[in-house]
Amino acid sequence: MAWPSCNSTEENATIHEIHLWNGGVTFHNLSVILCAIFTVISFILVSILIIGHTTHYSRPAEQRHILRILFMIPIYSITSFLCVYFYKKTVYFELIGNCYEPFAIASFFTLLCNYIVPDLHSQKEYFRHIQPKNWVWPIPWMQKCTGGQNGIWRKPRSGLTWFNVVWIGVFQYCFIRVVMTVIAVAAESVNLYCENSDNPAFAHIWVLIIESVAVTIAMYCLIQFYIQIKEDIAQHRPFLKILCIKLVIFLSFWQSTIIDFLTSSGAIKSSEKVSLQDWNNALPNLLICIEMSLFAILHFWGFPWQPYVINKQNIGAQGSQTYHGGWLGAAAIIDAINPWDLCKAVARGLRWLFVGRKRRTFDPSYHLAADRESQEQQEYQQLTERV
């Protein structure tokens, strides 16, 4: 049986379109112009925020993650412009650019953790003493079908176990997205990726499915984590921050996925004015460039640098009397682009998942929440008996 071939003639061909109106421009040229304009706007706006944080780098444990989140705006904008301009190489720019997405999600999760307490040991102590809230929909519905709190979708009794489950759910995306990017680039180099086909003989559909599942799990765990701790970090306005992240991730991933599915399934076809490359490539990337300029404005309220300015009123709150950004904020940029802490976080999650799994339940710290609940029930029962 012969292996099917990827018919990439149309997607790799030079674009030939007629003008959208008499004496006007083609859709592709218009997309290039608009992408360039909105990329410049996004870059200018986010640069103001980045300079504000790097020159007022008073709390590196928090601000390095804020800078990583802010880097999403120029990275997404620039890669989207390159995808449209160099449309024959769009797969490489798109895959490499989107590879940054899971690290932005992981940075936001770590930022929320640092809002609670600044180090991992203290975070473990914090979560050992909490009572986890039940999972948000749709898991409660799935619990009803699988034995409730005794089934496979049960809520962890230990707060520390719950924290580690959420940790795994967030950081698995970093590992999976990088692996899928490597696979996709390798498959594309030997013409086995085939972006415009849903044929299971090619890597594209499998990469798309696996990445969709991974990002859904990561965002679900992030929302679950926010619901658990939002009251304890209310002073940091977490809702606005998670709204910024959720909108960027949701629109950049799912709108591209939907358009990709419509073109690969044949629901959208090329015409004289709009070619297949522009439906599948220029349109979603143009939308991303426009959205990034809007999100850059939203980030001024979501991640302002003003709370990190050192003055007489907030020296005690910041815990630092000096800035650590170095000359023109260069040290802050270097600190933010160093991914070693995120690599260690991914390794910690994998280690927790696979090493010592059978023995960890004997650790008394994992039973603090359950023991406290049992003790409260016993005290209540004793009180009712006395009455």
Q: What is the pLDDT along the chain (387 residues), one digit of tens a residue?
A: 555 667 655 556 677 667 777 777 888 889 999 999 999 999 999 999 999 999 999 999 999 999 999 999 999 999 999 998 888 888 778 777 778 888 999 999 999 999 998 888 888 888 888 888 888 888 888 877 777 777 777 888 888 889 999 999 999 998 899 899 889 888 888 888 887 777 888 888 899 899 889 988 998 999 999 999 999 998 988 888 888 888 887 787 778 778 877 777 777 777 777 777 777 788 889 999 999 999 999 999 999 999 999 875 555 554 557 889 988 899 999 999 998 998 899 888 888 877 766 666 565 555 554 454 555 455 545 545 554
Separation of alpha carbons 62 and 78, rounded Å: 26
Separation of alpha carbons 273 and 269, rounded Å: 11
Cα distances from 347 to residues 43, 183, 338, in angstroms, run: 33, 21, 16
Q: Give residue 191's pLDDT.
A: 84
* Residue 346, C-beta contacts closer than 8 angstroms, at least 6 positions apart: 106, 171, 174, 175
- Domain regions of the chain by residue span: 15-386
Separation of alpha carbons 268 and 282, rounded Å: 14
Separation of alpha carbons 244 and 246, rounded Å: 6
Q: Give residue 383's pLDDT.
A: 47
Q: Give residue 364's pLDDT.
A: 57
Query: What end-to-end distance do the CA atoms of the chain give, in Å?
Result: 82
Separation of alpha carbons 171 and 109, rounded Å: 9
Q: Give residue 335's pLDDT.
A: 94
Could you please state the CATH topology (level 3) that the domain comprising 15-386 is classified under.
Rhopdopsin 7-helix transmembrane proteins (1.20.1070)
Q: Give residue 38's pLDDT.
A: 96
Residue bearing tokens 């967030």: 170
Whole-structure pTM value: 0.84
Q: Give residue 98's pLDDT.
A: 77
